Structure 1
Amino acid sequence: MAKRMGRRPKLDLDSGVEDATLLILEWLGEQGVGAMIRVDAERMRDGRPAWTFAASGGPLEHAMRADGASAAECMGKALVGLREAGLVVPY
């Protein structure tokens, strides 16, 4: 897989990804990937990105994490990271 010389795909925060999050997590589990999304109330109170996605196992060579200020931003970053790791989620 070719590396993108410093360019990152743009996140589409209006894509409805947060509506598909449970389906994405279920699909990842079927692929042998352990994954979760969580919100941290303390980080939210402090004005820091409170949402975290984490995944490991299955076809992922390394564990991965994505953080965002909203569920949509977090999952958008997670999908980009999964694609870069070679796992294209059918979303």
Structure 2
Amino acid sequence: MTDAKGRWPKVDPDSGMEDATLLIFEWLGGQGVDAMIRIDAERVQAGQPAWTFFASGGPLSQGVRDDGASAGECLSRGLIRLRDAGLPVPF
């Protein structure tokens, strides 16, 4: 959820995010940012958003985390958070 208004950021399910994932992670690594995306089987079974994006280090003053129902949604939300944190992700 966003800090400002308590709402989830908007994402575009047709953005092709899955196609750009490796390029995004390579770019993040080049900026000194450690990043990962993972799925949690317990949350899948509980019907909760099971994918997690996390990034920290480099120019980020604190870690960035977001969850989503799919890998693409999760990464889209994570990129919104990175941009909000001041990291100009070019994808």
> Which TM-score tier does this pair reach, normalised by the shorter chain?
0.7 to 0.9
- Shift in Å, 1:46: 1.0
The CA RMSD over aligned residues, in Å, is: 1.6
Q: Distance in 2 between matches of 1:9 and 1:56?
A: 20
2:18 alignment partner in structure 1: 18
Supply the AA of the counterpart residue of 1:75. Answer: L
1:34 alignment partner in structure 2: 34
Percentage of matched positions with identical amino acids: 66
| Structure 1: tracts of 5 or more residues without a match | none
After TM superposition, the score normalised by the length of structure 2 is 0.87
Runs of 4+ aligned residues of structure 1 deviating over 3 Å after TM superposition are 5-9
Q: Cα deviations across residues 2-54 of structure 1 (Å, max 9, x unaligned)?
A: xxx64875311110112211111111000000000001111111101000000
| Structure 2: tracts of 5 or more residues without a match | none
After TM superposition, the score normalised by the length of structure 1 is 0.87
